Amino acid sequence: MTIELTQPYSPEKHHSHRDVTGGWLRPAVFGAMDGLVSNLALIAGVVGAAGAGRGAVVAGVAGLIAGACSMAAGEYTSVKSQTELMRAEIAVERRELARNPEGEQAELAAMYRAKGLDEDLARRVAEGLSADPEQALRVHVREELGVDPDDLPSPYVAAASSFCAFAAGALVPLVPFLFGASGLVVAMIVSVLALFGFGAAVARMTARPWWLGGLRQLALGAGAAAVTFGLGHLLGVTVS
C-alpha cells in the first residue's frame, strides 16, 4: 500500500523566547524605579522641610543628574568586573582544553552521563563535540560556568540603560515643579500613577499579576516619600 502525502512536510514550529541575558532589563528596571522613588523622596523631604519652591526644583534636578551618573558608573563597573571575571575563567578553560584535551573530553562525557545518557552515547557525544576545539570550549563554559561565551553582558549597555532609565524615572516627580506646582500634591499624584503603572508593566513582562506588581511598587515609593517628608518636616520645624 502506498501512502501519499497531500501536504508538503514542514519543520515543527517552535515557540520563541525573549532575550533574558542581554544585560539591559535589570539596570533599566532598577534605574527607573530608583530614579522615581529616590527623587520623589528627595523632593518630598525638601518640601517637608522648606516648602515647595526653588529649593524643590534645585534638589530634584541635582538628584536627577547625580543619581543618573552614579547609577551608570556603578552599573558599568559592576558589569565590567563581572565580564572580566567570566573572560578570565573562559581563558582558564581554554588552556585546560589545549593542555589536556583527553581529560576534558572525559569530563564532558561524565557530565552527560550525569544528565542521564548511557555511557556509550555520552562518550560518543563528548567525542563529537570535542572534535572542534571552539565548540568544545563553548560547551564546557556553558556546562561548567553557566554562561554563554558568545553573549556576555555588555557594561556599556548596562550603563546606558541605567542612566536613561534613572533620568526618566527621576523626571516624573520633578516635572510638576518645573511647570510651577506650588505643593507636593500634584507631584505625588503623578508619581503614584507612574509607580503603579510601571510596576504593573514590569509584572506583565515577567508573567506576574499586574495589580500585585503595581501595588508593590506603589507601596515602596509612597512609603519612602512619606518617611522623608516626615523627617524633612521635623527637621524644618527644629531648625526654624
Look at residue 29 in the predicted model and tell me its pLDDT: 79
- Sign for the CA dihedral angle at 155, 160, 163, 164 comes to negative
| Residue 64 · residue 38 · CB < 8 Å | no
d(CA 116, CA 118): 6
The torsion of the CA quartet 56, 58, 59, 61, rounded to 10 degrees, works out to 120
- Determine the longest span between alpha carbons in the chain, in angstroms: 100
Look at residue 187 in the predicted model and tell me its pLDDT: 92
d(CA 23, CA 43): 30
d(CA 106, CA 18): 34
| Residue 228 · residue 41 · CB < 8 Å | yes
Q: Give me the half-sphere count of Cα atoms (radius 13 Å) on the Cβ side of residue 167.
A: 11
d(CA 12, CA 9): 9
Q: Kindly give the confidence (pLDDT) of every residue in the chain, 240 residues in length, as a single tens digit, with 9 standing for 90 and above.
A: 444 444 554 545 555 555 555 456 667 778 888 999 999 999 998 888 877 778 889 999 999 999 999 999 999 999 999 999 999 999 999 999 999 999 999 999 999 999 999 999 999 999 999 999 999 999 999 999 888 998 888 999 889 999 999 999 999 999 999 998 888 899 999 999 999 998 898 888 788 899 999 999 999 988 988 898 888 888 875 544
Q: How far is CA 97 from CA 22, 136, 147, in A?
A: 28, 8, 17
d(CA 225, CA 222): 5
**pTM of the entire structure?**
0.78
